[in-house]
Amino acid sequence: MQITSKFTVAVHILICIDIFGKERRVTSDFLSGSTGVNAVIIRNVLGKLRESGIVETRQGSGGANLARPLCEITLYDVYKAVDCIDDEGLFHFHENPNADCPVGRNIHKVMDGRLRAVQTALENELKGTTLADVVADTRKIIDEE
């Protein structure tokens, strides 16, 4: 199971809001041009970020702003906001392993704990990285260009 591209699109959106927001309105059309993603999808992702209290959007005049300081937004917050995974978790098992097969009847015993540990490690890494970290790296790279 892959994490959907909504996660990286959401991070891209948030970086753009911080980098460009002081000099221009950051609209879904602008974000669409930067991400290369359809503006309808951008509006959907912005809606999820708004519902999670990460961004504020304005109707009519358009534009999005961060609702919280960068240092208070983790990549985990973004990951959860855009529903990158469902309630089952990151990994999904095939529906009907054969109980008559020794591998089929034991696959969950062998894999469930390992997969939970992998997901926990991923989520802990995301919790340890703030948007401030990502924006700082982005600004550094832009300045070096």
The per-residue pLDDT for 98 is 92
The per-residue pLDDT for 104 is 93
The per-residue pLDDT for 4 is 78
Cα–Cα distance measured from residue 65 to residue 129, given in angstroms and rounded to the nearest whole number: 20
Q: 125 - beta bridge partners?
A: none
Confidence bin at 2 (pLDDT 50/70/90) = low
Cα–Cα distance measured from residue 24 to residue 64, given in angstroms and rounded to the nearest whole number: 10
Q: How far is CA 49 from the centre of its chain?
A: 9
Q: For residue 122, report the phi and psi dihedrals to the nearest 5 degrees.
A: -60, -50
The per-residue pLDDT for 86 is 65
pLDDT, tens digit, for every residue of 61-86? 678 999 999 999 999 999 999 977 76
Domain spans in the chain, listed from the N-terminal domain onward: 6-144
- Of 125 and 3, the structure prediction assigns the larger pLDDT to 125
Amino acid identity of residue 34, one-letter, is S
Comparing 10-24, 28-42, 86-100, which segment has the lowest mean pLDDT?
86-100
104-115: average pLDDT: 92
- What class is the 6-144 domain? mainly alpha
